[in-house]
Amino acid sequence: MVGNLLDPRTSIVRRHGMSFRTNSKGLKLDPQELLKAFGGLDVHQLEKLADQSVVDAAQFNRDMVVAIAQAAALLETTDFSFRKPLDGKIVVTAFFEASTRTRLSFESAVLRLDGKILSVPDGQVTGVKKGESLSDIGEMLNTYGDAVVMRHPETNSVDEISQNLTAPLINAGNGSGQHPTQALLDWYALLKWRPMLASDTCPDKSRIHLGVVGTPGSMRAVNSFVQLALLFDSAIKRITVVSEMADPLGAKLSDSTADCDIEIEVTNDIKDVLPALDVIYMNSIAFLGDDYKTLDSRYKLDMESKLKPEAVIMHPLARRNELDSALDNTVHNLYFAQAAGAVFVRQALLTAVLARTGALADALTSR
């Protein structure tokens, strides 16, 4: 059954002579553990992102994911605000679909680095209401901001706005397509939990059996997470996808898995596999057609679930009743730490995309 209950009372953690604010419930991860496990930050990996769009998890390699995680860990443990790294930059957050975490954590990331925000929290307040095309909106945004963070219910929205947008585009979720920055923060949480996962020589006892409860082919966050998981083949011994669908991976991810050394299996029965899993990534909400649908909602985790004592549960959130809130105060809860790390990952990414890595590089590499 479930592991120990945690004390939920403090969200300020003090370790190694430093304090940092963290999630109020669930596992409290120490960014210093990740920093101690690696050598210096590979600033070159961040510089490669300058002026680039971030639209698909498949564009990242493992070194880049690790560099973003390291930069996020440094940002989480260091007060850089006096350096004003995004001073003079304007980021447009254009959200044509609902969001709690993604928009607010991007905006928090910009504001904490002294950038400015033009926020569209609801696409219906734009010319879309009058029938304006996304490609025309892209043309306008070129002169209004230095980067655009967009969420949209249509999978082809990235292609459409990119017809005219020349500023870097960060895809914050496009229909059933991709959610690459969610995957980066997922891996930030996992690497803080077990830094050894990034090692080429991950010892066998640290290698994980990863369970994915959901349908990656229809769920953008799950899709992007699995796409990045394929980069960590030395750390993952097996991926089990638990789904109601016969072909849950979809065509693109199936192609990616075909080239990968990780053993991948699909089942529709969670009970048999659950006791073997080290990490369970779950989701049930998919934006399909023109509305939110729940898929795989018969798979539920609660206090009766037969979890390994040290197993961790990940979830991009929002959740419905597939993940019982009774698990929030247990050692299995990695999902609040995922969400809490979002600001630092997005700070690292924006600093790199807006070509301001140099503003942090001295401080990032000299610690």
Binding residues with ligand CP: total (CB under 6 A): 10
Answer yes or no whether residue 357 interacts with ligand CP by CB under 6 A. no
Longest alpha-carbon distance in the chain: 58
d(CA 350, CA 91): 9
Q: How far is the CB of 281 from ligand CP (least distance, A)?
A: 12
The residues pairing with 293 across neighbouring beta strands, listed in sequence order, are 286
Given the rule CB under 6 A, which of 129-137, 263-271, 310-318, 327-335 is the region that contacts ligand CP? 310-318
Per DSSP, 150 falls in state: E
Q: Among 50, 245, 288, 317, which residue sits at the site for ligand CP (rule: CB under 6 A)?
A: 317
Given the rule CB under 6 A, which of 114-122, 260-268, 311-319, 322-330 is the region that contacts ligand CP? 311-319
Q: Among 26, 145, 216, 316, which residue sits at the site for ligand CP (rule: CB under 6 A)?
A: 316
Q: How far is the CB of 175 from ligand CP (least distance, A)?
A: 13
d(CA 165, CA 53): 10
Q: How far is the CB of 332 from ligand CP (least distance, A)?
A: 19
Q: Are 250 and 208 in contact (CB under 8 A)?
A: no
Tokens representing residue 235 in the block: 């750390």
Between 45 and 227, CB nearer to ligand CP? 227
Given the rule CB under 6 A, which of 95-103, 111-119, 191-199, 207-215 is the region that contacts ligand CP? 95-103
Q: How far is the CB of 70 from ligand CP (least distance, A)?
A: 22
Beta pairing class for 312-314 and 279-282: parallel
d(CA 232, CA 56): 17
User: Taking CB under 6 A as the criterion, which residues in 100-119 touch ligand CP?
Assistant: 100-102
Per DSSP, 133 falls in state: -
Q: Are 292 and 285 in contact (CB under 8 A)?
A: yes
Q: Name the site residues for ligand CP (rule: CB under 6 A).
A: 99-102, 173, 182, 221, 316-318
